[in-house]
Amino acid sequence: MSSSVVGTMTMVPFTSSSASACLLPLTSKPSKHGRRRLSCKAMASSGDDDDSYRIDRRDVLLGLTAATTGSTLGRARGLLAAEGVKQPMPITSEVLKCVSAGDFVCPAGSTDYDDATVVNFSDLPAPTGPPRVRRPAHLLSAQEVEKLELALQRMKELPDDDPRSFKNQAAIHEAYCDGKYNVVARSPGEPDATKFDVHFSSIFAPWHRMYIYFFEGILGELVGDPAFGLPYWNWDAPAGMMLPAAFTNPDSPLYDANRKPENERGAFIDLSLSPKVKSDPNKFKDDLLGLIDSNLCAMYRQMNVKEPVDFHGGYPSRTTKPPVGSLETGAHTAAHIWVGEHMGNLKTAARDPVFYSNHSNVDRMWHLWSTKLGNHEDLTNDQWLNTNFVFYDETKRPVRIAVRDVLDAEKQLGYTYEEKKSLEWMERRIKPAAIKIDDRTRDAKDNSSLPLVLKKGRMEYLPVERPKKDGTKTDEVLVVDVTLDPCEQVKFDVLVNVPRGEEDKVGPQNSQFAGSFSTVPHGGTMTGSATTKPVVSCRFKLQELIQDLNCNRSKMLNITLVPVEGDKTIVDNLRVELC
Ligand code: C2O
């Protein structure tokens, strides 16, 4: 690993991918109970080059929620062979339609703008002058807090028919994140009305970048400051690991009463949603350094990702459930869940003002990853680059903006992030916990307990056999097949060779910690019919873990599943595969 100096920051670019966070590169396979069987392909697949994403336009339009059973991948590949490989159609504003339903009202202007009035972002002049600066929220001066409050207050006071009002801004997130947008047919014969979601795919990072960019512009306009920068919640740095004080004053427009009260004041965020914090918050509070260290390791794991598809996720399609990127499943999800209540559900999350500063930091992580952390290249396929949406800008003008318009925050969007000299998590390295390694061979028949239901707080001990190496494939991956309830918040950790009773001595900072799986629940409309619960194969890379724990000779690995949230996840199967 070589060190390089970029700007004012001394950076060690990540050159190897050792993150074992649970990414979900999923492909569809028929399953026994007619449930959707989604299994991970190799984490190392490059996503945009993967055949499974090069599906026919009709397949894209057929659906994004993959709520059907059985695989059409073979058919899609057949079509490709027959028609020659062609670029699949991207999701664009022309095929998206917001539908009000029940108590949900589509945000003002989302369905009735006149296409002729829409401005293309790419036709607007490029930003000039020094970039707007987004600062850490915990470092804002009293004046900066006042300005932010005033801007948000004014946004909250805008009338309901103004697309810039806070109510409408929050509804935009609900619409795009809770199945209120349908993908509609563009020509007769194409199927209609499949639900669209900007989460769990490579659309996550660019969509949220666009969304908060316009949000920031509106706030600036409302206080007459075109240089206004949306502060970021700096949860990746020890000094920023609390809810920023500006958001905790009950008299402020930045406050939301719908949060977990225990995390409001003085509590440190737990970016890995560790079971230790749950089971004994007071004890763990004393070990503040331990919590900070665990957070920094969680950051290191999420950012030490080289392949764009592992960082961003894959493109949504009908036939495959895309991989979810580490940017989304890592600290981002933890921050939603840790703040809780409104933030803890994708339907209501954007009603809490801290949502926008959470996403400012998520966006900063993307910015760092694609610049200072080694200039990683983003996905390059046209399908992703041409994906576009319409947002209202600060002058109430509808603007069509594409992924290719937002890849460079400074040059294309005119903002940047204030950074300290160094990032604490860059220096983290994962080490074995100082405990005995339990590599005794257990009876693999213990696995006859599968399938089993994970219950919060009840650990499951499952030995797995390691496969014989077959020459070409040498890397081992632990595959855990689970059936989820999408309405439920889920989190479980996976530990390897940890003796019973010693689990709380192991965290993300340790090699014995293979990774975690977590999701933010949806409001409910994305769940489809009760009989089609998503089945997910979650993969945890084992190679470095096996080396670190020096257990290359053991025939078995002793797996401990530690359920932290949720009582409905079914573990269907668990095995080690070679890849
Ligand atoms: Cu659209 Cu953090 O969620």
- Report if residue 274 sits inside a domain: yes
How far does residue 143's CA lie from ligand 1's centre (Å)? 28
pLDDT of residue 196: 85
Query: Does residue 212's CB lie within 6 angstroms of at least one atom of ligand 1?
Result: no
Judged by average pLDDT, the poorest of 159-163, 296-300, 387-391, 495-499 is 296-300
Q: Which pLDDT value is given to residue 67?
A: 25
CA proximity to 565, closest of 294, 278, 342: 278
Q: How far, in Å, from the CA of 196 to the mean position of ligand 1? A: 14
535: which strand partners?
37, 483
Is 541 touching ligand 1 by the criterion CB < 6 Å?
no
In this structure, the answer to whether residues 150 and 242 fall within a common structural domain is yes
Q: Tell which atom from ligand 1 comes closest to the C-alpha of 355.
A: 2
Q: List pLDDT tens digits, range 138-173.
A: 999 999 999 999 999 999 999 999 999 999 999 999
* Interval 419-466: pLDDT, tens: 999 999 988 878 899 999 888 877 655 566 899 999 998 999 999 999
Segment 509-520 mean pLDDT: 87
Q: What is the mean pLDDT of the chain?
A: 80
* 296 CB within 6 A, ligand 1: no
Asked if residue 147 has its Cβ within 6 Å of ligand 1, the reply is: no
Per-residue model confidence (pLDDT) at position 441: 75
Report the CATH number that the domain containing residue 349 is assigned in CATH.
1.10.1280.10
Distances in whole angstroms, Cα of residue 58 to Cα of each of 49, 67, 90, 340: 19, 16, 11, 39
Q: Is the CB of 342 under 6 A from ligand 1?
A: no
Q: Which of 362, 395, 428 is the last residue of a domain?
A: 428
Q: Which of 383, 26, 14 has the alpha carbon at shortest distance from 206? A: 383
Mean pLDDT on 311-329: 75
Cα of 346 vs centre of ligand 1, distance in Å, is 6
How far is Cα 296 from Cα 316, in angstroms, rounded to an integer?
Answer: 30
Q: Name the residue at shortest CA distance from atom 3 of ligand 1.
A: 346
Q: Is residue 499 part of a domain?
A: yes
Confidence grade of residue 189 (pLDDT, cut at 50, 70, 90) = low
Residue 462, strand partner residues: 559
CA 382 to CA 376: how far, in whole Å?
Answer: 18
What mean pLDDT is predicted for residues 13-29?
32
Distance from Cα 29 to the centre of ligand 1, integer Å? 28
d(CA 575, ligand 1 centre) in Å: 32
Q: How far is the CA of 80 from the centre of ligand 1 (A)?
A: 34
Residue with tokens 């803890």: 344
261 in the same domain as 210: yes
Instruction: Name the token pair of 357.
Output: 């500063």
Could you tell me the distance, in angstroms and rounded to a whole number, from the CA of residue 410 to the centre of ligand 1? 22
State in Å: Cα 537 to ligand 1 middle: 23
Does 177 contact ligand 1 (Cβ within 6 A)?
A: yes
Does the Cβ of 349 fall within 6 Å of ligand 1? yes
124 located within any domain: no
Are residues 340 and 459 located together in one domain of the fold?
A: no
> If you count DSSP H runs as helices and E runs as strands, how many of each does the chain have, helices first?
14, 20
Please report the pLDDT score of residue 520 as a whole number. 82
**Rounded average pLDDT over 46-73:** 28
Instruction: Tell me, using a 6 A CB cutoff, whether residue 209 lines ligand 1.
Output: no
Give CA–CA dist 42/40, Å, rounded: 6
Q: Is 332 in the pocket of ligand 1 (CB under 6 A)?
A: yes
On the question of pLDDT at 370 being above 60, the answer is: yes
In our burial notation (b when 16+ CB lie closer than 10 A, e otherwise), range 381-401 reads: bebbbebbbbbbbbeeebbbb
pLDDT of residue 262: 87
Overall average pLDDT of the 381-389 stretch: 95
- C-alpha distances in angstroms, 556 versus 262, 467, 510, 526, 539? 41, 9, 20, 39, 18
- Asked if residue 131 belongs to a domain, the reply is no
Residue 367 Cβ inside 6 Å of ligand 1? The answer reads no
Q: Is the CB of 347 under 6 A from ligand 1?
A: no
Residue 252 maps to a domain: yes
User: How far is Cα 334 from Cα 252, in angstroms, rounded to an integer?
Assistant: 25
Q: Relative to the CA of 349, which ligand 1 atom is closest?
A: 3
Q: What is the whole-number distance in angstroms between the Cα of residue 338 and the centre of ligand 1? A: 14
Domain enclosing residue 360, as ranges: 3-14+40-114+139-372+383-428
Q: Is the CB of 321 under 6 A from ligand 1?
A: no
Query: What CATH number is given to the structural domain containing 482?
Result: 2.60.120
**Phi, psi values for residue 224, rounded to 5°:** 65, 30
Inside any domain, residue 478: yes
The predicted model gives 248-271 an average pLDDT of 92
Question: Looking at the structure, do residues 438 and 394 belong to the same domain, yes or no?
Answer: no
CA pair distance 7, 548, nearest whole angstrom: 34
> pLDDT higher for 81 or 100?
100
22 part of a folded domain? no
Regarding whether 465 and 399 lie in a shared domain, the answer is no
Do residues 227 and 345 share a domain?
yes
Residues 423 and 441 reside in one and the same domain:
no
Domain count within the chain: 2
Q: Which of 362, 393, 428 is the last residue of a domain?
A: 428
547 in the same domain as 456: yes
Ligand 1 in contact with 336 (CB < 6 A)? yes
Highest mean pLDDT among 64-78, 100-114, 383-397: 383-397
Concatenated DSSP letters of 130-196: SPEEE-BGGG--HHHHHHHHHHHHHHHHS-TTSTTSHHHHHHHHHHHHTT-EEE--SSTTS---EEE
Residues 319 and 436 in one domain: no
**Locus of tokens 């089993």:** 452
Mean pLDDT in residue range 228-246 = 97
Give the separation between CA 356 and CA 364, rounded to whole angstroms: 12
428 lines ligand 1 (CB under 6 A): no
Whether residue 471 has pLDDT greater than 50: yes
Confidence of residue 282 (pLDDT cuts 50, 70, 90): low
Structure tokens at 533: 């619960």
572 shares its domain with 488: yes
Angle in degrees, 0-180, between the axes of helices 142-157 and 166-177, rounded to the nearest 10: 80
The reported pLDDT for the residue numbered 43 is 28
Confidence (pLDDT) at 187: 62
Is the N-terminal amide bond of 107 cis, ω within 30° of 0? Answer: no
Report the atom number in ligand 1 closest to the C-alpha of 333.
Answer: 2
| pLDDT over 70 percentage in the chain | 76
CA atoms in the 13 A half-sphere facing the CB of 320: 29
- Asked if 175 and 98 touch (Cβ cutoff 8 Å), the reply is yes
Q: Is 545 found in the same domain as 503?
A: yes
Give the position, in ligand 1's atom list, of the atom nearest the Cα of 359: 2
Residue 277 falls within a domain, yes or no? yes
Determine if ligand 1 sits within 6 Å of the CB of residue 41.
Answer: no
The Cβ of residue 374 has, within 10 Å, a number of other Cβ atoms equal to 17
Whether 539 lines ligand 1, by a CB cut-off of 6 Å, is no
Burial status of residue 554 (CB atoms within 10 A of its CB: 0-12, 13-18, 19 or more): middle
Comparing 113-117, 129-133, 187-191, 218-222, the range with the smallest average pLDDT is: 187-191
**How many Å lie between the centroid of ligand 1 and the Cα of residue 10?**
31
Q: Do 401 and 550 fall into the same domain?
A: no
Furthest CA-CA distance within the chain: 70
